[in-house]
A and B are shown apart, each in its own frame.
Chain A
Amino acid sequence: MVSICAALAFTLTARGEVLSAAETDAFITAFNAKQGATQTYQAELTQQLQLRGLKRPAESRGQLFYRAPAELLLRYDQPAGEFLLLKDADVWFKKTDRPLVHRHQVAGGANPGKSLLMLFRDDPDGVRRQFNVTVARTNSTLQVTLTPKEKDPHMRLVAIENVVREADLEVLSVRTIFEGQNQITYEFTNPRRNAPLDAALFAPPPQEPLR
């Protein structure tokens, strides 16, 4: 518990100037308007997993593809061949040397990539219902911190920290922090919005025996 508080205190002190409630609302409105206008999105992706007791973070690279309203593909180059596809309430993922997994998400259930899809599709009220939103300004970026209002025993989520470029409200990174000093960070580069995307990217992969 002490370590969680210390981490939070560190995060908050590093944030810089905290926006007022009115400024926060204005930011959320503007951010949602931008995300809402996004029909497609693609970017280079760097994923970093930090777990307690793991001396070296595990790094991965790949691309992220999004298509409105609720399709998201994470295609990894490192490790090659792995992917994660979210399509409405269904999720498919493939890990090296493992069979393809297909799950039908239940409301509130924990699934990989959920926090990423939330960036694009959740309505502002939904985010406000579930999270306390704090926005801090540091140089040219805004650090948006979402802390859950209620503790989820499955997710064990502590906070989601999004770094957004203030000039164009482009998301630079998303960090999801879990209890026990575990966190995942996604960093995005070369984002492209509303460029045409091949529909085949989001086609459900051929069936394999269920895992």
Chain B
Amino acid sequence: MKLRRFLPSLIAVAVLVPVSIWALLTLKLQSELVPLFPPHLKTVHGVQLSMSVLSSAQEVMLLLTPPAATGDLADRLERELKQWPAVEAVSEVGRPRLEPLVEMIAWGLANLPPETFAEFQSLYAPANLSNRLAQTESQLAGVLDGRDLFLLRFDPLQILPWLQSQPQAALPLPDLANVSETPPFILLKVRARQPLRGFEQCQEFIAHLRQIVDAVVPASMRPAVYITGQPAFVAENSSQMKGDITIMVVLAVGLTWLLLWVFYRSQAALLWMTVVLALALLAGAVAARLLFGELNVISIGFASILIGLGSDYCILVYHFHTQHDPALDREAAWRTVRRSIWLSATTTSLAFGALYFSSFPGMQQLVVLIAAGLLATAFFATTLLAEILRHTKPVAPQWLTHASDWLAAFETRRARWIVGVVAGLALAAVLVWPVARHYRFYEPDFDRLQPATSEAYQGLRELLKATQAHPTLEVMVTGRDLPELRARAARVLPSALLAPQSDFITANRQQWRSGHQADVRAALETAGFETEWGAATLRLLDELDRWAAGKSDFASARLFLSNVAESPTGGPMALLRVPVTNDLASAWAEVSAHEPSALSASWRLMMEDLQHRVLTDARRLSLWMLVAVVAVSWWARRSWRPVALNGLALVLTFGGLLAILWLTREVMTLQSLLTLPVLLAVAVEYSLYMQLGLHAHAGDTRLAFRHLTVPVLLMGLTTIIGFGAPVATKQPMLKNFGMVMAWGTFAAMMTGLVVIPACELFRRNHPHHSETLYRARWFEWGAWLAPRLGWSGARRLGRWLGELYRLTHPQTADAVRSNLAAVKPAPVDEALVRQAFRNYGATLADYFLLGTRPRTEVLDMVEPPVGLEHFQEICGPGQAAVIVTAHLGLFELGSLFTADLKPPPLVLSLPEPSVALGRWRAAYRQRWGAETLEVGDDQFSFVKITRELAKGRSVALLADRPSDTNRVWVDFPHGAMPFSTGPVWLSLLSGCPILAVTTVRLPSGRYRMEAHPPLAPKWLNGSREETVEHYTRQLAAIFRKAICEYPDQWYQFVPLSRSR
């Protein structure tokens, strides 16, 4: 084991582990939700303010509905709750309990403006008392309404109507007319002594509260008791999430483990992957500690994305090391795998990195976690894991290879068909779009996200139903001092009572004159009311007297009805509840028009605002994400082709997702929008792997698929498992997230595995020549024009047309460039590429001209041939040879020298694109005495050729453009090129020697032909393949020398080379 190879990763581990321990020890875990939202949003700021100082964050509601809505049960619960030290106070709504009601009214009165309070006090002057009671008596006649009667009996002096008619005096009193001894519900408001801010605090408080409820309420009645309110929601959601995360982790790890075992039958695979992913998570934690100092638990939860994506790299590395194909250039293949992983990590990190500039602090944390983690995974997977696997040499089951080969064969055979199907589907999608566009793929309705089994949610619904309450909008108003606060609050809600207002309380306490009770009693007696009618009034006066005497401070009412507090920045602030008549948004628009400084404290409005923000951010950032994807895709091969293919992968993935959503009638929720950048990364990742793999294996589809099919399939399946696991949870939000991600990944996987390779292969199977120019008609025109222009004119025109062809066919130029890269050091001189095209044009001009000239004139254009003796030596009567040449110079000129052979040789040619062209070219060769035999790449052709050889007829063929299956890679100075094994096989099977012929044009314009010493292959010891490979390399060496000497005459327009 070479320690040197392990050194970089070991150093990294040695640094990372202690630093991450420090980071984990000092990292502050945050469990609140609101800090994840953009703080500059007014709605977020409003909610944050209201939560920081006002009561709702520490108030839990206990709703008793029939049959549990009994006074006895409520009293016992109240007693028990008050004994719990964590509870500061309990308030009850639902029963006509005089004491709390009177205290609430007295608290409201104490906070009145002093002049209004003075008016209130004047109501108890004897004359006023008589008048008001007479008015009450008159109201008992005529139309009778039970509600009015109840209120008159409770408040015969009609203090409450007077109070509610005063500006800034509206008390949030319960509907007194609807309370009864057997109420439809009883609501106990439980106020915690400390604010319940974090998940854990809420969970602990609610759990203890539930214990008390269970101890007091009989089991049969417990379903009628609901615990609700903000802390109950927080506790329920967080504990639900804890359970859900456990389910998700167990399911994801279990299924992934099972999957890896099914594929590789190796537990070591998962072990090493776990180690790498753990290191990646530590790296993410270090980055978060350095950048933020804290992490939210929700960001940590979503960091499972990192595990999903990171394990992909490990699978790629692991699978590579299970491949032991002798035909594989391991170093080159490893370079490709490593490059793919780093490209993918960079693309995904950049795509996610764009989200750093979103408005959400939570998103920024997530981005840093994932980006740092992914880059760390890429590093450890390509160093530590690779080195470990290099030594452990894992083995993949044979069936994986068979399955990959089958898919490779299917893709090769059906590439055109697959592309056609995809095009058809795209067309169908366009046709269906006018119908499908009306479907709501995205549904922001928050009610969909509420779990049906949520007790807190059910409790809230029951409460709204029982109280028939109208919705209200919570608004925060701030001011530098109390007068400013009052002015602003009055503009928002003129009737709102602000409490406590210390200056008013002080003034009112001073002006209150005790002892109005005797006057009230006398007035009641006089007016014909017994004293019981004035019970509440007298109790109110007692309470105010006690307050004036300093014996009462309205402790309970103060806790539950206070809506004014000191803001964190100094100065008072108030929470107002504005009735909503139409909808929340229009109510808020009205409020902000009246008081621009007001802040909404409504969760619903905040969530709607966040939703708009998410969409705005998505629009803004998706552009940057796409730029990142385009840049990296281009950089991968310095070509726009991968960019286009990745674009296609994205379109198909998102199109596929939308189609599945439409067909299954599912929708995406706000949280599911998070999947879009992840899906973008996944789609590009799979597409890039397949493209780079196919490119690196230079068209060897079988080898490329052996390397990529299983990893991409596994990556897809593990991602589906990882992200699909939330479907098993109880949270609608998580279920939807999992469902969208699973379907999206499925679409991305199918696109990467099936469509992208088909597009690549479709291009390769596509003729390498121009379908417009490579036609018999152009050849006829060329043959007609060339003699008219003469040598010089025809060559000049040919060069110019060659140049034009290069400019108009960049893909062909790319092919020439990549092939020349095997001959010349990179980057290939563009002048050389240009010269190759110019020479090709001039050679074509010669080709057309030579065909029209008599043989003697043609021979004048050729230098005396070299190696003619080899022809004479091996091509005697009855003796045949396999004459081999390459796409170098005017290779057709070889026919001139074989024309003397008896019988004339057969020039082997692949079928031309049209019969007319085939005939034209055959006739052209016939003029020089050579016959043409069109053959395919099949065994029948092979038999046919060997028969001709056996008859003593030589055959001529090209060897440097082999098929995918019959070839050998031959080293060139800066790469490798494939050469056909066909000539050697023919020679070995027929016993005919091989004669290599090269034809190049000299600077003088004349051609030099050379017949090289013949090769006579014999079966060697070892396998047949080894013999074929040996002689093919010998044969290729001849052409390699000529190609390297005349690279600008090598007309190889198909990308074949493999970089080193």
Decide yes or no whether A51 CB sits under 8 A from chain B. yes
In A52-104, the 8 Å CB interface with B consists of 52-56, 58-60, 74, 76, 78-79, 82-84, 93-96, 101
* Residues in chain B near residue A153, CB distance under 8 A: 180-184
Contact call A58/B182, Cβ cutoff below 8 A: no
Contact call A79/B138, Cβ cutoff below 8 A: yes
Across the interface, name the chain A residue whose C-beta is closest to B180.
A153
Partner of A95, one of B143, B180, B184: B143
Partner of B142, one of A53, A54, A82, A110: A82
Contact call A49/B530, Cβ cutoff below 8 A: no
Interface string of B181-222 (1 = CB under 8 A from A): 111100000000000000000000000000000000000000
Partner of A74, one of B143, B148, B184: B143
Decide yes or no whether A112 CB sits under 8 A from chain B. yes
Decide yes or no whether A184 CB sits under 8 A from chain B. yes
Given A51-B153, A153-B182, A156-B180, answer yes or no on A60-B530 (Cβ-Cβ < 8 Å). Answer: no
Across the interface, name the chain A residue whose C-beta is closest to B525.
A55
Closest Cβ–Cβ distance, residue A82 to chain B (whole Å): 4
Partner of A184, one of B137, B138, B144, B533: B144
Decide yes or no whether B532 CB sits under 8 A from chain A. yes
Partner of A94, one of B139, B143, B531: B143
A101 to B149, CA, bound (A): 15
Contact call B146/A110, Cβ cutoff below 8 A: yes
Decide yes or no whether B141 CB sits under 8 A from chain A. yes
* Residues in chain A near residue B182, CB distance under 8 A: 153
Contact call A83/B140, Cβ cutoff below 8 A: no
Given A79-B141, A95-B139, answer yes or no on A55-B146 (Cβ-Cβ < 8 Å). Answer: no
Partner of B144, one of A49, A59, A96: A49
Decide yes or no whether B827 CB sits under 8 A from chain A. no
Interface string of A140-155 (1 = CB under 8 A from B): 0000000000000110
A-B contact count (CB 8 A): 68
A154 to B532, CA, bound (A): 22
A52 to B149, CA, bound (A): 12
* Residues in chain A near residue B528, CB distance under 8 A: 54-56
Contact call A55/B143, Cβ cutoff below 8 A: no
Contact call A93/B140, Cβ cutoff below 8 A: no
A78 to B143, CA, bound (A): 10
Contact call B142/A112, Cβ cutoff below 8 A: no
Contact call A55/B142, Cβ cutoff below 8 A: no
Contact call A58/B141, Cβ cutoff below 8 A: yes
Across the interface, name the chain A residue whose C-beta is closest to B139.
A95
* Residues in chain B near residue A59, CB distance under 8 A: 141
In B873-892, the 8 Å CB interface with A consists of none
* Residues in chain A near residue B138, CB distance under 8 A: 79, 96
* Residues in chain B near residue A112, CB distance under 8 A: 143-146
Interface string of B519-530 (1 = CB under 8 A from A): 000000000111
Contact call A53/B144, Cβ cutoff below 8 A: no
Partner of B145, one of A58, A74, A83, A93: A93
Interface centre among A53, A58, A60, A110 (most CB of B within 10 A): A53
Across the interface, name the chain A residue whose C-beta is closest to B182.
A153
Interface centre among B144, B146, B149, B528 (most CB of A within 10 A): B144
A51 to B528, CA, bound (A): 11
Across the interface, name the chain B residue whose C-beta is closest to A155.
B146
* Residues in chain B near residue A82, CB distance under 8 A: 142-143
Contact call B137/A58, Cβ cutoff below 8 A: yes
* Residues in chain A near residue B141, CB distance under 8 A: 47, 49, 58-60, 76, 78-79
Interface centre among B138, B143, B182, B530 (most CB of A within 10 A): B143
Across the interface, name the chain A residue whose C-beta is closest to B138.
A79
* Residues in chain B near residue A56, CB distance under 8 A: 528
Contact call B533/A53, Cβ cutoff below 8 A: yes
Across the interface, name the chain A residue whose C-beta is closest to B535.
A53
Contact call A95/B142, Cβ cutoff below 8 A: yes
Contact call B180/A53, Cβ cutoff below 8 A: no
A79 to B141, CA, bound (A): 7
Across the interface, name the chain A residue whose C-beta is closest to B178.
A154
* Residues in chain B near residue A84, CB distance under 8 A: 143
Contact call A53/B143, Cβ cutoff below 8 A: no
In A38-58, the 8 Å CB interface with B consists of 47, 49, 51-56, 58
Across the interface, name the chain B residue whose C-beta is closest to A60.
B141
Partner of B180, one of A51, A94, A154: A154
Across the interface, name the chain A residue whose C-beta is closest to B183.
A153
A122 to B180, CA, bound (A): 28
* Residues in chain B near residue A110, CB distance under 8 A: 146
A96 to B142, CA, bound (A): 9
Contact call B143/A76, Cβ cutoff below 8 A: yes
Interface string of A92-124 (1 = CB under 8 A from B): 011110000100000000101000000000000
A55 to B144, CA, bound (A): 18
A75 to B144, CA, bound (A): 12
* Residues in chain B near residue A52, CB distance under 8 A: 532
Closest Cβ–Cβ distance, residue B579 to chain A (whole Å): 13
* Residues in chain B near residue A47, CB distance under 8 A: 141, 144
Partner of B529, one of A53, A76, A78, A93: A53
Across the interface, name the chain A residue whose C-beta is closest to B147.
A110
Interface centre among A51, A54, A59 (most CB of B within 10 A): A54
In B110-168, the 8 Å CB interface with A consists of 137-146, 148-149, 153
Contact call B142/A60, Cβ cutoff below 8 A: yes
Closest Cβ–Cβ distance, residue A187 to chain B (whole Å): 15
A156 to B178, CA, bound (A): 12
In B219-261, the 8 Å CB interface with A consists of none
Across the interface, name the chain A residue whose C-beta is closest to B149.
A51
Closest Cβ–Cβ distance, residue B68 to chain A (whole Å): 15
A55 to B137, CA, bound (A): 11
Contact call A54/B140, Cβ cutoff below 8 A: yes
* Residues in chain A near residue B184, CB distance under 8 A: 153
> What residues of chain A have their CB less than 8 Å away from a CB belonging to chain B?
47, 49, 51-56, 58-60, 74, 76, 78-79, 82-84, 93-96, 101, 110, 112, 153-154, 156, 184
22 A-B pairs in the complex with CB atoms less than 8 angstroms apart? A47-B141, A51-B153, A52-B532, A55-B528, A55-B530, A59-B141, A60-B141, A74-B143, A76-B142, A78-B142, A82-B143, A83-B143, A93-B143, A94-B143, A95-B142, A95-B148, A96-B142, A101-B145, A112-B144, A112-B146, A153-B182, A153-B183
6 A-B pairs with the lowest CB-CB distances in the bound complex, closest first: A58-B140, A82-B142, A53-B530, A55-B528, A153-B182, A60-B141
Question: Knowing that A51-B153, A54-B530 are A-B contacts, what are 5 other residue pairs whose CB atoms are under 8 Å apart, sorted by A's residue number?
Answer: A53-B531, A55-B529, A56-B528, A82-B142, A153-B184
